[in-house]
Homo-oligomer: A and B are copies of this chain.
Amino acid sequence: VSAHTVGILGGMGPAAGADFVRLFVAACAEVLRARGLPVVDQAFPMHWLVQAPVPDRTAALQDPNAAQPLAPMIHALGALRSQGVGTVAIACNTAHAWHPQLRAAHPGLRILHAMEEVAETLQAAGTPVVGLLATEGTYRTGVYQEALSRRGILCAVPDSAGRDLLMDGIYQGVKAGNLPKATMLFERVARALVAKHRLSTVILGCTEIPLALSPQALPGVTLLDAANLLARRLAACAYGSPGPA
Report A's interface with B, CB cutoff 8 A: 3, 11-15, 17-19, 21-22, 24-26, 28-29, 33, 38-56, 79, 82-83, 171, 175-177
Contacts and interface: CB of A to CB of B under 8 A. Distances in A.
Contacts of A171: 40
A182 to B, nearest CB: 13
A161 to B, nearest CB: 23
A239 to B, nearest CB: 12
Contact of A177 (B39, B51, B53): B39
20 contacts: A12-B41, A13-B44, A14-B44, A15-B25, A17-B25, A18-B21, A18-B25, A21-B51, A39-B175, A39-B176, A39-B177, A40-B56, A40-B175, A41-B53, A41-B56, A42-B55, A46-B53, A47-B50, A47-B51, A79-B83
A48 B48 contact: yes
Contacts of A19: 22
The prevalent SS among residues of A at the interface is mixed
Given A56-B41, A56-B42, A25 B29 contact: no
A195 to B, nearest CB: 32
B51 A44 contact: yes
